Amino acid sequence: MHTKTYNILAIIPGTKYLGVAIFVDTDLRDWYVKSIPNLSIKDKAEYVKEFIGGLIDHFNINILAMKKLHEARQSRNLSELVSKIKEAQKKLNIRVKEYPLQTIEQSLVQGKQNKRKLVDEVAQLYPVIIHEHEREKKNKSRYLTRMFEAIALGVVCFNQADKGDEKVAKKHS
C-alpha cells in the first residue's frame, strides 16, 4: 500500500493535438484532447510548455507521464516539441516518465493488443467516460483515441510509480 499521493499529468504528444489526462492516484480528475494552434514549431513548443506549466501549477502535478515516441514514427518537429517539454519539466523538478505505447497496451489489454481494445479497456476502468467511448466508436478519424491513450498512460504510470515506491519502502524497513 502506498502512502505518497501521485498527482499525474499524462500527455500523448502531437504537433496538432495533445491527449491529456489528470489523475490523483487512480482518481481520474480531467481528460480531453487539446488542440494546438497552427504556429511555428518554436511557438508551438512555447505554447505547449505554458499550457503544461499551467496544469502542473493548478493540479500540483508531481509526475509528468508521456508516451515515448516511436523512433520510426516521429517527425523532427514532434521530437523537438517533446524535448522542449521535458527540458521545461526538469527545470520545475517534476519527474518525467515515458512509456512506449506497446508497454501501455501490454499493461491493460489481455491477448492481442491494439488501440481499439485499449480504448475499450479504459472505458471499462472509468465508466465516467462511457459517453466519449460511444462517440469514439462512431468516429472514423478516432480523434478521441489520444485522450483514451492518455488515460491508459496515467493508469500505467501510477501502477509503476506505486510499485517503485513500495520497493523503496521495503528497503528502508
* HSE, side-chain direction, 13 A CA sphere, residue 115: 14
More confident residue, 80 or 32: 32
State the chain's mean pLDDT as an integer.
Answer: 85
Q: Quote the pTM value.
A: 0.86
**Domains of the chain, first to last:** 7-172 (3.30.420.10)
| pLDDT the model gives residue 140 | 73
